[in-house]
Amino acid sequence: MEQSIIIEKSIFIVVIFAITMLMAMYATLAERKVAAWLQDRIGPNRAGKGGILQPLADGLKLFAKEEFFPNTPNKFLFVAGPAISMSTALMTSAVIPWGDKLHLFGRDIILQATDINVAMLYIFGVLSVGVYGIMIGGWASNNKFSLMSAMRASSQMISYEVAMGLAIIALIMMTGTLSLREISAQQAGMNWNVFYQPVGFLIFLVCSFAETNRTPFDLAECEAELIGGYHTEYSSMKMGFYLFAEYASMFISSTILAVLYFGGYNYPGIEWATENWGVNAANIIGIGVLFAKICFFIFFYMWVRWTIPRFRYDQLMRLGWQMLIPLAIANIIITGIVILLTQ
């Protein structure tokens, strides 16, 4: 029994890891394609059919580039920066429930790497560590632009984590649990949290843009002021890791959005499908539904990127501290009153 669980979990972890990498890889292609379409262009279409091999070509190109080290005393930190970024981007996927369960080889396989009861706290912890990748990288670059960019990134993440946490508190008050599995299960059918927590969802959405360093909050890599930002001094695959980590964390935060507010793997008629088609079929559809939701959010990230220009730094701070945090607190109070009245 013990052995089979270890094998099952290791296979599952490898699969999740592969899927996350694949999604991040193709998110880079999707980014370029969506950018092109929104600008009335076609986008990359030479490598493979419709540009399907473009991410491989990009990766190969980055591997073939010269490995450059700036004249910095912190060679170790210089390498640690992208490594931390990448590993934190991939770590979050451990607690995501990708589906309910599959019935294979006479036993139930839970579609989650690990179901810890403080999954939300775990996610927040890992997300907060994520900023160290940028900070350490920017610091170790020994370059004032990188350092400024790192400062911006860290102060931005700290300010938006507050609003994000407050938005989540309202959600947790409603669900009464920190486990993502239970939160998913509670949203069965069309009982999605977004209908009960629209304001919380909006705040969370805005903050997740800031947390993943995406436009309009990509001040950390503001080309006009900071050259490349924290990855100015990076080249070859270390640079590739930073860029890749951005897409991986975009995938993960889309997943979190889908799981927390858009019902996760739930879709209307899941009970009917379980009764008529069996557990496996119903849950495979559920995984597909979850990935459709994730893809929508990834598209949304790109859609917003090519719509809104970058915020100015003071606007960013004002939005975070003076708009989102009061709004999130008001949301908590209203949620509390409603819970008190309905119980």
Partner 1 sequence: MPPVKDGLKKYKMSIETISLSGRKKEVSNKKMTFWESLYLVAIVKGLFITIRHLFKRKVTIKYPEQTRELSPVYRGQHMLMRDEEGRERCTACGLCALSCPAEAITMKAEERKPDEMHLYREEKYASIYEINMLRCIFCGLCEEACPKQAIYLTKSRVMVKPNSDREEFIYGKDKLVMPLDMAIKNTQMKTAN
Q: Which residues bind partner 1 (CB under 8 A)?
A: 34, 37-42, 45, 202, 303-304, 306-308, 318-319, 323, 327
List, in sequence order, every residue forming a beta bridge with 108; answer none if it has no partner: 103
**C-alpha dihedral over 218, 221, 227, 230, to 10 degrees?**
160
**What is the smallest separation between the CB atom of 210 and partner 1, expressed in angstroms?**
14
H/E element holding 107?
strand 107-110
Which is closer to partner 1, CB of 4 or CB of 45? 45
**What is the smallest separation between the CB atom of 213 and partner 1, expressed in angstroms?**
18
Which is closer to partner 1, CB of 148 or CB of 319? 319
H/E element holding 101?
strand 101-104
Which is closer to partner 1, CB of 42 or CB of 118? 42
Separation CA 222–CA 243 (nearest Å): 14
Which is closer to partner 1, CB of 170 or CB of 259? 170
**What is the smallest separation between the CB atom of 124 and partner 1, expressed in angstroms?**
24
Q: Where are the alpha helices (DSSP H) in the chain?
A: 2-38, 54-64, 75-91, 119-140, 144-175, 180-186, 193-196, 198-211, 223-226, 236-261, 270-277, 279-305, 313-318, 325-342
Which is closer to partner 1, CB of 269 or CB of 326? 326
**What is the smallest separation between the CB atom of 262 and partner 1, expressed in angstroms?**
18
**What is the smallest separation between the CB atom of 153 and partner 1, expressed in angstroms?**
21
Sign of CA dihedral 116, 120, 125, 127: positive
**What is the smallest separation between the CB atom of 306 and partner 1, expressed in angstroms?**
6
Which is closer to partner 1, CB of 205 or CB of 285? 205
Separation CA 136–CA 199 (nearest Å): 34
Which is closer to partner 1, CB of 114 or CB of 315? 315
**What is the smallest separation between the CB atom of 246 and partner 1, expressed in angstroms?**
21
Residue 308 contacts by C-beta under 8 Å, 6 or more apart in sequence?
215, 216
H/E element holding 104?
strand 101-104
